[in-house]
Amino acid sequence: MMELTYNQEGLIPAIAQDIATGKVLMLAYMNEEAVQLTLEKKIAHYFSRSRQKLWLKGESSGNIQEVKGFYYDCDNDTILLKVNQVGVACHTGSYSCFFNEVFDEPDMSRTLDNLYEVILDRRVHPKEGSYTNYLFEKGIDKILKKVGEESAEVIIGAKNTREELIYEASDLVYHLMVLLVNEGVTLGDLYGELTKRMR
């Protein structure tokens, strides 16, 4: 049986990480009851220090965290939850609470995840003059039309040059991401389906 080390207030920090993207979503605290409920229900529960009460993540917003992995560190005093984030993690509407960037070295392996986050952020925080917001404003029919057009252009590009194929495929991926965000489909949903196909 695990033996967690709680602080003087009976709390232990818990980090939530998106199991699909690896992105750190938030840091909160748990008391013993929150830990037990999280393990039992496989839904993240925390303890709100400001309200001094148990807190089911997403209870009012619907942005729950389905717990897929529960870890604790070598000193038994910090928890790591690997979660399937439904909706966004941050109360501001951002995908992750950690959006105040000081610097960030590009990680090419996470390009799709980063693109998805940018598109999701555009939907939550519209930006004037943004082509992405233009697509969201026009709605599903416009988005589907663009996905269809870009699919055809990928076919043509593949018959022409490698460079043209790369360019057109990038356009298709971008518009497909807009469609996914518009329809509430996460990359985690896609990764889960693709994982099934690797068996």
Q: Which two tokens stand for residue 21?
A: 């993207």
> Mean pLDDT throughout 26-45?
98
Q: Phi-psi region for residue 184, left (φ > 0), alpha (ψ -120 to 50) or beta?
A: left
pLDDT in tens, 101-126: 898 777 777 889 889 999 999 998 99
> Mean pLDDT throughout 43-68?
95
CB atoms within 10 A of CB 184: 9
Q: Which two tokens stand for residue 133?
A: 């917001």
For 10-19, 88-97, 168-177, which range has the lowest pLDDT when averaged over its residues?
88-97
For 19-33, 47-61, 83-97, 102-116, which range has the lowest pLDDT when averaged over its residues?
102-116
> Mean pLDDT throughout 58-64?
92
Where are the extended beta strands (E) located within 19-162? 24-30, 45-48, 53-56, 65-72, 79-85
CA pair distance 113, 15, nearest whole angstrom: 19
pLDDT at 169: 98
pLDDT at 65: 97
Q: Phi-psi region for residue 56, left (φ > 0), alpha (ψ -120 to 50) or beta?
A: beta
pLDDT at 104: 76
Domains of the chain and CATH, by start:
12-85 (3.10.20.810), 108-196 (1.10.287.1080)
Single out the residue of 114, 57, 124, 115 nearest to residue 86, CA to CA.
57
Query: In Å, what is the CA distance from 144 to each residue of 150, 176, 177, 179?
Result: 10, 9, 11, 7
pLDDT at 4: 96
CA pair distance 69, 71, nearest whole angstrom: 7
Q: How confident is the model at residue 140 (pLDDT cuts 50, 70, 90)?
A: very high
pLDDT at 1: 55
- What average pLDDT does the chain have? 94
Q: Where are the alpha helices (DSSP H) in 24-130?
A: 32-41, 111-124
Indicate the helix (H) or strand (E) that contains 138: helix 131-138
pTM: 0.59
